[in-house]
Amino acid sequence: MKWFALRYIFQIISGDGNYASQFDEQLRLIQAKDAQDALTKGEGQSEHFHRPFRNCNGELVKWEFICIADLYEIEPPGDGSEIASVLHEPKDMAFFLEELKRREAFLHQSIFIENPN
């Protein structure tokens, strides 16, 4: 069996859909014998990832599966395994680096709050 990373695209629909369109992009690992098997298995599992729920306004919120947009064969997962890579070519490098610093600070703050020891 081989490992594959699949990029799922879901549309999030709240109530009657009169909200700004939201799409959820997820990377998930699938173990399969080949790429076709991974795609078939991945599409079959897509219906079970998100259960509908009611938001604070009582409106039904659901994730509608759109497609699997990418599929990559990867090395068997282990500690430190790469599962995704995104290349950036920012127009404003200073802004990009500042945004990364803000995200890093938020991450460290969040971890500290969750694990105060």
Please give the model's pTM, rounded to 2 decimal places: 0.70
76-96 burial string, b = 16+ CB within 10 Å, else e? Answer: eeeeeeeeeeeeeeeeeeeee
Portion of the chain with pLDDT greater than 90, in percent = 66
Shared-domain flag, residues 74 and 99: no
Quick one: 25 and 79 in the same domain?
yes
Q: Return the bridge partners of 60, or none.
A: 54
Please indicate, yes or no, whether residues 50 and 68 belong to a single structural domain of this protein.
yes
Expressed as residue numbers, the domain containing 105 is 87-117
Q: 40-94: per-residue pLDDT in tens?
A: 999 999 988 889 999 998 999 999 999 999 999 999 998 988 777 778 899 999 9
Q: Is the pLDDT of residue 116 over 60?
A: no
**Cβ proximity of 53 and 4 under 8 Å:** no
Q: Kindly state whether residues 105 and 61 are assigned to the same domain.
A: no
Q: Is a pLDDT exceeding 90 seen at residue 117? A: no
Are 79 and 93 within one domain? Answer: no
Cα atoms found within 13 Å of the Cα of residue 80, Cβ hemisphere only = 0
Determine the Cα–Cα distance for residues 55 and 44; give it in Å rounded to an integer: 27
Q: Are residues 62 and 109 in the same domain?
A: no
- 70 and 99 share one domain: no
Q: 53 and 93 share a domain?
A: no
| Same domain assignment for residues 70 and 15 | yes
98 and 66: one domain?
no
Number of folded domains that form the chain: 2
For 21, other C-beta atoms within 10 Å of its C-beta total: 8
Query: 52 with 80, same domain?
Result: yes
63 and 27 in one domain?
A: yes
Query: What are the Cα distances from residue 116, in Å, to 15, 47, 52, 106, 107?
Result: 38, 37, 33, 15, 14
